[in-house]
Structure 1
Amino acid sequence: MNTGQIVTFYSYKGGVGRSFALANTAVVLARWGYRVLCVDWDLEAPGLSYYFDKHLAEPPRAGLLEMIEEARTTPETAQATALRHRTSVRLPEGARLDLIAAGRKGDDSYISRLQQVDWEALYEEYDFGATLETWREEWMREYDLVLVDSRTGITDSGGICTAQVPDVLVFAYTANDQNVDGVLEIVDRAMKARDGLPYDRPRLLTVPLLSRFDAQPEYKEGERWRRELARRMEPRLRDWAPRGSSPGELLQRVTIPYFPVWSFGELLPALSESPRNAEQVTYSIASLAALLARRLEDVGLLIENRDSYVEGAEQAARRDFEVDVFISHSVAQYRLARQLQQLFLENGVTSWVAGENPEHRAEFVDRCRHLVMIVDEGGEDPTQNHDTSLFLRRSVNAATERLTLPVVTSSAAIRQLPRLAQSLQAFNLEDGTLSQAARAIAARLRQESRSLRPHSSRGGGYDVYLSYAHADENWTLALAENLKRLGLTVFVDAWEVQAGDHWPSRLDAGLRGADTVVAVVSTAWSRSEYTMHEFELAAQRRGRQQLIPVLVGDVVPPPHVAERDFIDFRDAMTPREYLGRVQALARRILHLRGEEPLPPSGSVVLPDSMF
């Protein structure tokens, strides 16, 4: 990850396992290799550090309360305290995470000092909002995930944690009406407060976490509650749920069942249990950890194949591979594999040969970025099949592109490719030499590295974002193509959003990263909640983003559109008239004055409505 994300864990009432879920999620993520910071913002009832007491490098000498006091007494330097009071948590097997405790451990003055904190005065007199923004930026630079433990109930500090601080709000609740009613009310308040913040924020994503749920003794009653909770939580799942999925399917993946053994004390089962054993609580914790690590994306895979989804999140934590290529081969082809290894080295590609470390194949597969498999006509090799299966499973939706590249010794050997690799293009040694194969694979790897560049030379930004209703897709795509032919970079979802993408996040990033938002205003556009939301967001960014409505069809523009300087395509009945409107729009986008010429363009694409 280039930029971390902040996740607040909130509960309306205590005793629902919120801190337990946060602490164990942090441990799972840290053991996978993510950089994790935990922040105990439950200042009135701090307890997060109890989970880590046995693993602290030293007792916390200061924490969040001291940071807040510094923001009040020395506001001019408070912004530099974002990480000054963190404490290291050393976990088994070399894993580690960092903790900002609520305050100094064992301090008798803690309660009286906490009572002196006036949140309203902090914001109004000491500009604490700006200080907190600086803390957020520093936390996200240093960590992949920042997990914040929020105060329960309705409090000022809890409001800060649920609205200003997070990118994602995980709210824990149990199966009773007071928990559900209370937590949903707070989440709704947080969403509204978020919209009113004077800071540039994407829409707050929310994850309902059904905790300590035990349907075993009363199965029928448990199923009734599942159905009711799925219905009530559906609006909070909608922003990241894959199309066609049911709320019940997602709710099942964000449920932590009740295990009596873990209800005593502050314990970390994530240190002793397997994340792949469905009979243990860490199985559910790992599902939540993977969902957060993957930023609530590719959720369809979580529903269809939970283990692959979790393995992909674990693999994505790896930032650097030690070696370019793992060469998988049968026993008979060990010598050929060694020759290929030498040829790779001559072409600047590092590699490991499977036969050199037969007892550690799985470990070495994980440490190599790509897989090259040498297959002959001698029939399927079970060990090689295992290499391929493991590599492909670990590579599913991984953050880093990983390639599987077969090399076959003959045409007959193509039929012996492992089933998972039969759809891949193979290099046939009947058509070229091993040296040519090595050069071709090296060239492919270099090409793949170049393909990872962002869409835009401006680091992912766009000249134009097109906001439109689905009914106007054909018309909008024609406009997008014409603007593109004038040299403009255009974000239109049909081009930019790919299968498996988290489409609300992609749309939001495109909208906020564009210099100009063009709203294709039609009757269908006026009826769409989403396009109206996009229009409002762009309107709020006046001075930072240009907003240009274009009118199409027989629409009567709503007042908030009619008051703006729009481009009217409604009476463009001929190609010449249509081209004139496109050019007028392009001049507005490019801020061209007077007779400044437009960039040269090729032929014009006409929308279907003109035929």
Structure 2
Amino acid sequence: MITTFYARREHPPSAELARRTAAALASWGHRVLCVERSGLPGFLTDPSTPVITARDNGVEVIHGEPERIDLETLYTDRRLGDALEAWRDGHARQYDAVLIDCPHGTSDTAAVCLAQLPDTVVALLGDGSTDAELADILRRADAARDRMSYGLPQLTFVPILPPGATSPALTALADNWLSREVSPAAALTALAFDARQHQPRLLAALLARELDASRLLVQNPRLLVAGARKAELRRERALRARIRDLLTNLTHSAQDWDAVRVLLGTLETGLRLGDWDTLERALTTSTVTHTRHTGPIPAEVAARTVTLLDHL
């Protein structure tokens, strides 16, 4: 996943948050590329062969000397847009996470870093700008992305507010990754305090799981961080696939429906708590069998199965 870190003004320092997040991800075994602000001109001039200029505690870094570039010429004469998409399909796949330190303000370079490059934008609200200003910039970036011809998915936004602050405008932009059961205020409060820590572990863990962990962010942040190691994520994804296969088969097979109800209860609890040990035991010891049925599936079993599949 490619994530841009952006702040409208100099404070809070988005570059420092990007570096600390990269360090946390690398410490958990993820391969991380960090494109620093000073390295953007060189990277955008030729994204086909990005030059790694440093390696810092497992993080590969692109930085350079500040310089001015003509993005209009790069897009029209050197087809920068196509080159960035080729980089996304090729080089970006070499990394588990790519973090981009976006310039402040509304420059052309900032527009590229917000609209075309990322999957996710971590947007910091700080001194000297209002939440309405920041929300407007993010909405315009999303609209510009929609006008591009590359079929890019919708941007996701992770607002980082000052501790104790609220912003309906920015909270609304986070709706597309927050679970329905999660209070947006509680999720953004957790991230606000986490971002001020020496190592923003919750934000890093959330990005490691491609934002698919808002319930854990609020209900069990320790488990969210504990499960962010690369090996744990591989195990979780394999278990989710096994659960998905089992639930899909339920719609085609007759069962001991009492056994199915017990299993569904275990799966519901395990998924809600992120208890992968319990889920693995449940799958291993399950007595549910698959045989072709002649009657309908009980309505409550069908409803619970659909709900579980939605959460996977």
TM range (shorter): 0.7 to 0.9
| d(CA) in 2 for partners of 1:302, 1:151 | 28
Relative distance call for 1:424 and 1:141 in structure 2 (3 A) is: closer
Q: For residues 290 and 313 of structure 1, what CA distance do their matches in structure 2 show?
A: 5
Q: Would you say the 8 A contact 2:177–2:212 is kept in 1?
A: yes
Q: 1:401 Cα shift? A: 11
Q: How does 1:41-190 map to 2 (within 5 A)?
A: 42=37, 46=38, 63-69=39-45, 71=46, 79=48, 81-82=49-50, 85-91=51-57, 96-101=58-63, 103-104=64-65, 114-115=67-68, 117-174=69-126, 178-190=129-141
Number of the residue aligned with 1:296: 211
Aligned length: 260
CA deviations 1:292-343 (Å, max 9, x no partner) are 11111131122111111111122546659xxxxxxxxxxxxxxxxxxxxxxx
The percent of aligned pairs where both chains have the same amino acid is 30
- Judged with a 3 Å threshold, the aligned counterparts in structure 2 of structure 1 residues 257 and 292 are, in CA distance, closer, same or farther, namely closer
Aligned to 1:313: 228
Give the letter aligned to residue 18 of structure 1: S
* Map of 1:204 onto structure 2: 155
Confirm or deny: 8 A CA contact 1:28 1:289 kept in the other structure. Answer: yes
Deviation at 1:258, TM superposition (A): 8.5
> 3-state SS of the aligned residue for 1:206?
strand
Q: Deviation per CA, 1:169-209, whole angstroms, max 9, x where unpaired?
A: 110112x6724232111101111011111101111111001
Moved over 6 A (4+): none
Taking a change above 3 Å as real, the CA distance of residues 119 and 312 of structure 1, as seen in their structure-2 partners, is same
- TM-score normalised by length of structure 2: 0.73
2:30 matches 1:34: yes
* Alignment RMSD: 3.2
Contact 2:9 2:128 in 1 (8 A): no
Q: CA deviation at 1:168?
A: 0.6
Please state whether the residue corresponding to 2:3 is helix, strand or coil: strand
d(CA) in 1 for partners of 2:177, 2:22? 22
| Cα distance between partner residues in 2 of 1:304 and 1:496 | 19
**Unaligned stretches of 5+ residues in structure 1:** 47-62, 72-77, 105-109, 214-221, 260-279, 321-391, 406-422, 428-493, 502-611
2:299 paired residue number: none
Tell me, in whole angstroms, the C-alpha distance in 2 between the residues paired with 1:137 and 1:301. 30
Residue deviations 1:224-267 (CA, integer Å, cap 9, x gap): xx3x42x23221121111113222111112214686xxxxxxxx
Amino acid at match of 2:172: P
Rg larger in structure: 1
Q: Counterparts of 2:61 and 2:188 in 1: how far apart (Å)?
A: 29
What CA distance in whole angstroms lies between the structure 1 residues aligned with 2:208 and 2:275? 12
Instruction: Return the structure number with greater helix share.
Output: 2
Question: Which residue pairs with 2:145 in the alignment?
Answer: 194
State the SS of the aligned residue for 1:313: coil
Superposition TM-score, scaled by structure 1 size: 0.39
Deviations 1:458-487 (A, max 9, x none): xxxxxxxxxxxxxxxxxxxxxxxxxxxxxx
Check the 8 A contact 1:312/1:397 in 2, yes or no: no
User: Hey, what's the Cα distance between the residues in 1 that align with 2:145 and 2:308?
Assistant: 26
**Looking at both structures, which has the greater relative contact order when contacts are Cα pairs under 8 Å and sequence separation is at least 6?**
2
SS in 2 for 1:239: coil
Question: Is contact 2:178-2:214 (8 Å) kept?
Answer: yes
